[in-house]
């Protein structure tokens, strides 16, 4: 692996670490009575100044955007960190953080499939082996979690999180050409500004402004989510896509479920089984295979 690809892989892994913490922060905030859209609005509100600053700086330094560019940005912003996030937050009301991350991480194969079917991208034998190993690993861990909780809750939560995965895969697939045109930092900032605006509009449509009055720990988890599970991984993910492409960046992100399982065991007292450990090993092998050139 050359230096550029190694750096891209490191950025993708950093993004996976940050995104894996999101479900943990959400689960830690929910016991205080906050609802999904209010928590998401707090996350976006805390992150908004950073994305506004980067977006305005990029607008001054970069080329002007066409009407088509703005249309694509609005679409991707709605799909990415609004659509995918609100479905994910709703799903976390029903299922564990570990199971959420396992279902959500069907998006790498969805991203690759979208690229093959609609963008004319090749699907290499190496990527096929990596996907098979990663999915086998996720399957091992998924079997463990199916036995936990109420079946109806698992089905509802699982469907919501799978919808989040589809939304995020569409965002990743559409983001690569926009990143190439606008640059990783500028695109990420503008897409997040759109997501933040749509999130706050949703909040104002369904909640009174007084819903922002929450126990102090909710603000702490919301701020942590904004910094460590939004700002850092969003920029890292976009930079990784620019260097190694959306498909490979999403494959490196498949370590996320195993990170979430570990954090869930450590911080949320969620059970960990031998099947989950076997699954983690298969995912790591899959990542190592796809990272070799």
Higher pLDDT, 14 or 121: 14
Q: Specify the residue for token string 């004319």.
A: 120
CA 87: distance to chain centroid? 12
pTM of this prediction? 0.82
Quickly state the pLDDT bin for 86 (edges 50, 70, 90). very high
Please tell me the distance from the alpha carbon of residue 129 to that of residue 164, in angstroms, as a whole number: 25
Length of the chain equals 293
Flag whether pLDDT at 185 surpasses 90. Answer: no
Mean residue pLDDT across the chain = 84
Predicted pLDDT at 61: 60
DSSP string, the chain: --HHHHHHHHHHHHHHHHHHHHHHHHHHHGGGT--HHHHHHHHHHHHHHHHHHHHHHHHHHSPPPPHHHHHHHHHHHIIIIIIIHHHHHHHTTTS-HHHHHHHHTTHHHHHHHHHHHHS-----HHHHHHHHHHHHHHHHHHHHHHTSS-HHHHHHHHHHHHHHHHHHHHHHHHHHHHHHHH-HHHHHHHHHHHHHHHHHHHHHHHS-GGGG---HHHHHHHHHHHIIIIIHHHHHHHHHHHHH-HHHHHHHGGGHHHHHHHHHHHHH-----HHHHHHHHHHHHHHHHHH--
pLDDT in tens, 226-260: 999 999 998 898 888 888 887 777 777 767 777 88
Beta carbons of 287 and 12 less than 8 angstroms apart: no
Q: Tell me the CA distances in angstroms from 98 to 54, 106, 139, 272, one per residue in order.
A: 33, 14, 13, 9
CA separation for the pair 209, 188 (Å, rounded): 28
In percent, the amount of the chain with pLDDT more than 70 equals 91
Please check whether residue 224 is in contact with residue 25, taking contact to mean a CB–CB distance below 8 angstroms.
yes
Residue-wise pLDDT for 44-82, tens only, equals 999 999 888 877 776 666 667 788 888 999 999 999 889
Residue 133 pLDDT > 80, yes or no?
yes
Written as six digits, the tokens of 183 are 């640059």
Q: If you compute the radius of gyration of the chain from its CA atoms, what whole number of angstroms results?
A: 18
Look at residue 98 in the predicted model and tell me its pLDDT.
77
Q: Any idea which of 84-98, 152-166, 180-194 has the lowest mean pLDDT?
A: 180-194
Are the CB atoms for 254 and 108 separated by under 8 Å? Answer: yes
Q: Which residue is listed with tokens 């090749």?
A: 122
């Amino acid at each position: 692996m050359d230096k550029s690809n190694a750096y891209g892989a490191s950025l993708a892994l950093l993004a996976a670490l940050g995104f894996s913490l999101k479900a943990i922060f959400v689960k830690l905030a929910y016991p205080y009575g906050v609802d999904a859209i209010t928590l998401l609005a707090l996350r976006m509100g805390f992150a908004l100044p950073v994305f506004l600053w980067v977006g305005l700086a990029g607008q001054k330094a970069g080329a002007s955007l066409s009407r088509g560019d703005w249309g694509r940005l609005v679409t991707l912003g709605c799909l990415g960190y609004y659509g995918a996030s609100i479905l994910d937050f709703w799903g976390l009301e029903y299922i564990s953080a570990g199971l959420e991350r396992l279902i959500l991480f069907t998006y790498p194969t969805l991203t690759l499939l979208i690229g093959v079917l609609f963008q004319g991208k090749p699907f290499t034998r190496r990527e096929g082996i990596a996907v098979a190993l990663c999915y086998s690993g996720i399957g091992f861990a998924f079997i463990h979690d199916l036995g936990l909780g109420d079946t109806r809750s698992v089905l509802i939560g699982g469907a919501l999180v799978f919808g989040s995965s589809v939304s995020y895969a569409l965002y990743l697939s559409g983001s690569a050409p926009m990143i190439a045109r606008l640059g990783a930092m500028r695109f990420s900032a503008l897409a997040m500004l759109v997501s933040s605006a749509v999130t706050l509009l949703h909040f104002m449509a369904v909640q009174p402004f007084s819903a922002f009055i929450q126990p102090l720990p909710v603000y702490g988890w919301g701020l942590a989510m904004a910094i460590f599970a939004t700002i850092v991984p969003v920029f890292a993910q976009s930079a990784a896509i620019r260097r190694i492409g959306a498909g490979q960046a999403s494959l490196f992100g498949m370590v996320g479920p195993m990170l979430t399982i570990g954090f869930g065991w450590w911080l949320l007292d969620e059970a960990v089984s031998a099947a989950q450990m076997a699954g983690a090993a298969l995912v790591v092998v899959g990542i190592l295979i796809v990272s070799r050139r």
